[in-house]
Chains A and B, each alone.
Chain A
Amino acid sequence: MLRATLINIKLLIGLIAVGYIFGTLVALLQVYGGKVLGTIARIYEWIFRSIPALVLIFLFYFGPSKFGMDITGFIAAMFALGFRSSAYQSQIFRGAIQSIPTGQMMAARSMGMSQIRAIFTIILPQAFRLSIPGWTNEFSSVIKDTTLAYAASFNEVLRTARIVYDTDMTLAMTVLVFVAFIFMILTLLGNAAMGLAERRFRIPGLEVPGHEKVRQMSLGSSGLGAFGFRRFWRKTEK
């Protein structure tokens, strides 16, 4: 069953990665994409925010086979939940991007940076930091969603639990309490990791209100673009 938990964690990492990449993209398009691309991004966000997660998983799991594509339950669940998460994450990022004073964009442009370069070197590194608290929240929400992948018939933790107590119904409560316990621990660990990240990347003057009580730490070097994601993982692993 602990091995099954690892599958949930793998699913979680996969779906958050998908959600992060698409979420950033959707947020950028909504803020800087102009009318057409902005509207497309808003429609995307609307679709994936309105469909229930379980329905999405079914759609992604059974949908492709109609076109002769055979995808595993894991991949289906990862993308279904990932796209869904990206819709929520995009709003975290959008809020963060828009909270950065527009003067900084102007200053970047006035020294000859293109808009894209300014976004990557000036806006995203700040938006990333500002979105960590929102991200913590999103994380503790999607981690529980991974049990919905149960429906895509692969052996994540809840399904494994079911297999166990199907053989012996007297074990049902024990096993389910154990599952609940696993998720409580995972959430605790996850939140601790995010809190650590928040402190690690803290910069004076760039805090989310209510979160500035953390101990002061200075940052070695500058940028944390979209590529900073990789560095972020490496840093938090230490």
Chain B
Amino acid sequence: MLLRVEDIHKRYGKEEVLCGVSFGMMKGETKVIIGPSGTGKSTLLRCINRLTPADQGRVWLEEEEITHTRTNINKIRAQIGFVFQSFNLFAHLTALGNVRIGPMKVKRMKKDDATRLAREELDRVGLADKADAYPAELSGGQQQRVSIARALAMFPKLILFDEPTSALDPELIGEVLEVMVSLAKEGMTMLVVTHEMGFARAVADEIIFMENGVIVEQGTPTQMFTNAKHQRTGEFLNKISELYGETG
């Protein structure tokens, strides 16, 4: 098991956002988390790499317990990519600079090697020609692809995607999903919070449906779309497919 999440709880003030979430991921799997907004999907992702500390519960990356207080969290985070809804590129660095800064500053890679690696990763997301552009000079879709390249350059064991296409104009969603689909096919382990059902259908090994801080149901896309056990799952899937279509 590559990632094991066990009974995660998180509350903000009085409100309990996560009420005991558990699941696991094997190497090379792609799992998609869906659910109405405010059900703790993003919080769950942040609890996995401790950007938000969980109140209770444990998380393991392979044999190492991430949630253990004595774990060197920076070392763990270097192995887990994180792609944000709002890209969060470093505004003072070019696309190339954004991709190579992790290898250079976290992994102490030499600048030449990091540059070569960064160019390869930019090429992988189709942006080799934008290496010298600053984030403000790129479209949202391009920025998100740079941020995926930035994650890839760290050779992560797993990448967490937090609604990677939700901040994008509709015509830019496709290029980002395309990159994500090819990553999934190459065997990258990915945990994706998204409303893109087309993507989920195409590459997800499993869909996890969350509501009110718990996992309501999980299963393969076919099973979830055609044969949902819970009424809520079916309702939600229908509504979301209607809203977002099945592109991607």
**Once the chains bind, are A222 and B93 in contact (CB under 8 Å)?**
yes
Q: Is the CB of B77 within 8 A of A112?
A: yes
Contact B77 A205 (CB under 8 A): no
A96-139 near B? 1/0 per residue, CB < 8 Å = 00001101101111111110010001100110010000000000
**A101 vs B92: C-alpha distance when bound (angstroms):** 12
Q: Is the CB of B51 within 8 A of A106?
A: yes
| Bound-state Cα–Cα, A117 to B80, Å | 18
Which B residue sits closest to A121, measured CB to CB?
Answer: B105
Please tell me if the beta carbons of A110 and B90 are within 8 angstroms of each other in the complex: no
Chain B residues within 8 Å of A122, by CB: 90, 92
9-residue interface stretch from B2-10, B31-39, B81-89, B202-210: B81-89
Across-interface contacts of B49 in A (CB, < 8 A): 110
Q: Does B239 belong to the interface (CB within 8 Å)?
A: no
- Is residue A218 within 8 Å, beta carbon to beta carbon, of the partner chain? yes
1/0 per position for A202-217, CB-CB distance to B under 8 A? 0111100000000000
**B87-104 interface bits toward A, Cβ cutoff 8 Å, 1 = contact, 0 = none:** 111111110010001100
A112 touches B154 (CB 8 A): yes
Contact: A107 with B91, CB < 8 Å? no
Judge whether B84 and A204 touch: CB under 8 Å: no
Asked if B75 lies at the interface with its beta carbon under 8 angstroms from chain A, I say: yes
A227 CB → nearest B CB, Å: 14
Known contacts A113-B74, A203-B134; is-contact A222 B97 (Cβ 8 Å): yes
Determine which of B82, B87, B91, B134 lies in contact with A111 in the assembled complex, contact meaning CB atoms within 8 Å.
B82
* Residues of chain B contacted by A117 (CB below 8 angstroms): 105-106
Q: Is the CB of B150 within 8 A of A111?
A: yes
Decide: A107 and B84 in contact? CB cutoff 8 A.
yes
Instruction: Enumerate chain B residues within 8 angstroms of A106, measured Cβ to Cβ.
Output: 51, 84, 88
A121 CB → nearest B CB, Å: 5
Distance between Cα atoms of A117 and B88 in the complex (Å): 17
Q: A113-B105, A113-B106 are in contact. Are A203 and B92 (CB under 8 A)?
A: yes
Q: How many A residues, CB 8 Å from partner?
A: 26
Q: Are B91 and A104 in contact (CB under 8 A)?
A: yes
CB contact under 8 A between A111 and B90, given known A203-B134, A204-B136: no
Residues of B within 8 A of A100 (CB): 91
Contacts of B137 in A (CB 8 A): 204-205
Bound-complex Cα distance A185 to B80 (A) = 56
Give the residue among B49, B101, B132, B147 with the most A Cβ atoms within 10 A.
Answer: B101
Q: Once the chains bind, are A107 and B90 in contact (CB under 8 Å)?
A: yes
| CB < 8 Å neighbour of B88 from A104, A112, A126 | A104
State in angstroms the CA–CA spacing of A112 and B75 once bound together: 6
Given contacts A109-B51, A111-B78, contact A103 B84 (CB under 8 A): yes
Q: With contacts A107-B82, A112-B74 known, is A222 near B92, CB below 8 A?
A: yes
* Residue in A110, A203, A218 whose CB lies within 8 Å of B51: A110
Q: What residues of chain B lie closer than 8 Å to A218, measured between beta carbons?
A: 132
Nearest A residue to B72, CB-CB: A112
> Known contacts being A110-B77, A113-B74, A121-B101, is A203 close to B82, with CB within 8 Å?
no
- How far is it, in angstroms, between the C-alpha of A176 and the C-alpha of B157 when the chains are bound? 71
Q: Shortest beta-carbon distance, B124 to chain A, in Å?
A: 17
Q: In the complex, which residues of chain A have a beta carbon less than 8 angstroms from the beta carbon of B86?
A: 101, 103
Chain B positions within 8 Å of A114 at CB level:
74
Q: Does B135 contact A (CB under 8 A)?
A: yes
Binding site for A on B (CB under 8 A): 49, 51, 74-82, 84, 86-94, 97, 101-102, 105-106, 132, 134-137, 147, 150-151, 154
**Smallest CB-CB A-B distances: 3 pairs:** A205-B136, A112-B78, A103-B88
27 contacts between A and B (CB under 8 A): A101-B88, A103-B86, A104-B88, A104-B90, A106-B84, A107-B88, A107-B90, A107-B147, A110-B51, A110-B82, A111-B81, A111-B106, A111-B151, A111-B154, A112-B74, A112-B75, A112-B76, A112-B154, A113-B74, A113-B102, A117-B105, A122-B90, A125-B92, A126-B92, A203-B92, A204-B134, A206-B91
